Amino acid sequence: MQNETWNEFKQRVWGTDYEIWHDGIESGGLDFYIQKEGSHVKEMLLKGLEAEDPTAVLGLYSFPADEIVDDLKKAFSRSASHFKIELAKLLYTIDEENRGAYRDTLIDRLQNAGDPGVQIAAAEAMSGFNDEAMQQALTQASKNADDNLVRAAALRSL
């Protein structure tokens, strides 16, 4: 397993990209591998972070916050728009000290990304957070966004 790549690991644990898209990921399979080969699992998920794969972020939810926060911060500082949204969502929940920066990133992507797909992802990432600034941004986007799908995503996320 030492020479396993991120994609090989991801497929072994969750299946192909199509299966992940179609069925989602379940933490039960990952939890089994964590018990069996914990340090290798974390190493593989960190390789997934380097590859900017959102599945790796979802997998890292299975680890205690204090074990992953520094790696997530590093990935956040170097990541691009769509992946940065996934990281901001997770970091918002576990890094209270810098919560405002992650909130501001999500709001910025919703309001200023030129790509409606990125704006939709940002709106969806803000769903369920009881944060006044996020709620205001979602309300504004639900009324004023240029794209109908962005407006719908913002409205669903309120």
The one-letter amino acid at 73: K
Average pLDDT for residues 65-82, to the nearest whole number?
90
Is 99 among the domain residues?
Answer: yes
Say what the pLDDT of residue 3 is: 59
Domain around 49: 1-63
Cα–Cα distance for residue pair 135/75, rounded to 1 Å: 26
Per-residue tokens: 149: 């799908």
98 and 154 inside one domain: yes
The contacts found for 26-31 with CB under 8 angstroms, 24 or more apart, are 27/59, 27/61, 27/62, 30/59, 30/62, 31/62
Is 69 among the domain residues?
Answer: no
Average pLDDT for residues 9-26, to the nearest whole number?
85
83 and 158 inside one domain: yes
Cα–Cα distance for residue pair 25/30, rounded to 1 Å: 9
Is 45 among the domain residues?
Answer: yes
Q: Is 58's pLDDT higher than 90?
A: no
Based on the structure, what is the number of domains in the chain? 2
Torsion angle of alpha carbons 8, 12, 16, 21, nearest 10°?
-120
Structural domain ending residue among the three candidates 24, 40, 63: 63
Say what the pLDDT of residue 20 is: 86
Say what the pLDDT of residue 156 is: 96
Span 28-51, pLDDT tens digits? 778 888 888 878 889 999 999 998
82 and 21 inside one domain: no
14 and 87 inside one domain: no
83 and 114 inside one domain: yes
Cα–Cα distance for residue pair 27/116, rounded to 1 Å: 29
Is 42 among the domain residues?
Answer: yes
Say what the pLDDT of residue 115 is: 93
Say what the pLDDT of residue 1 is: 45
Is 72 among the domain residues?
Answer: no
Taking the model in full, what pTM does it have?
0.83
Q: Left if phi > 0, otherwise alpha if psi is -120 to 50, otherwise beta: which for 15? A: left
Cα–Cα distance for residue pair 104/84, rounded to 1 Å: 12
50 and 111 inside one domain: no
89 and 134 inside one domain: yes
53 and 106 inside one domain: no
Q: Give the helix/strand (H/E) hosting 6.
A: helix 6-14
Span 87-146, pLDDT tens digits? 999 999 999 999 999 999 999 999 999 899 999 999 999 999 999 999 999 999 999 999
